[in-house]
Structure 1
């Protein structure tokens, strides 16, 4: 029995070594929590702006927003992205240092390339939607492309991120049918799901 347990322990250790050699495993759950909080704050700011300017979100599909409104919403989205990226960099670097892992290597490069290709495509497509005044589809498209990006990157980092990607895609597809709830879907996908995912990953790998 002891010999069998020793063999299982050795196999487990070999698997861990193989994961470290092929996957970027320093991704911190706290970065997900921070990204979710940033998204919630961004959604709150956009909601405040819409209310103060008497714009009802579920009626946007019948409105032509001013350049000022579009610029404001895009600015908030950009700030949320920068905050999320900054927090991810900080917490991941801290986690890597704590576990004596390298922050940047070939695994990190592969993960980021596979993450940012769908993100870049989604960003360009969102600009196309803005150009054609299809604003009510921007939130669902952002969620769908982001989910695809996470699925694409999950092969090179923690497998748990795959489930977050699937949930983002589902929320985005549902929001594509119920376009009047795009802001709510955006808040759920980028805010709540990130916080839940980040919390689970933190307690699973970092405690």
Structure 2
């Protein structure tokens, strides 16, 4: 079962954050799943540090090269919505978020319709600006369904190598969480750290 921790409050009930959530029957996973009062989000984290990013609709280019990040983020959100709807026994809407880590710049000619594109530094502000759409009871039901073995993966037993990566990631998140408390950076710093680690640990 994916590691789970309650992130610091933004407003209202605590958020549930899942990292490296395996889906399907193979080795595919979703970088992060967030469940909270503002809704359910899948985060696809891409490290393009010091590179210019250009966005127009579903087209995204990094340093002049086209990437399939936006269609992939849309696909992940739709997949998560189907799985959580089945597990929770109620309709669960999921929004995909593409998080670009430390880009040199982002030029948005046209905002994508089905997915949000933000930097790691913008993520906290973006989440805090979203209005609540789920009650505490709904958040609890969806979160409980999300962490059940078999909800997202038909074989919830992880290979030893993947479990080791989960353990390393969890240790990193725990250290980052204590640093956030000391520095009062709260929610955003955790995603910066987790996103950067996932780029290294999970190709």
TM-score normalised by length of structure 2: 0.31
Q: Which has the larger radius of gyration?
A: 1
**Larger strand percent:** 2
Larger helix percent: 1
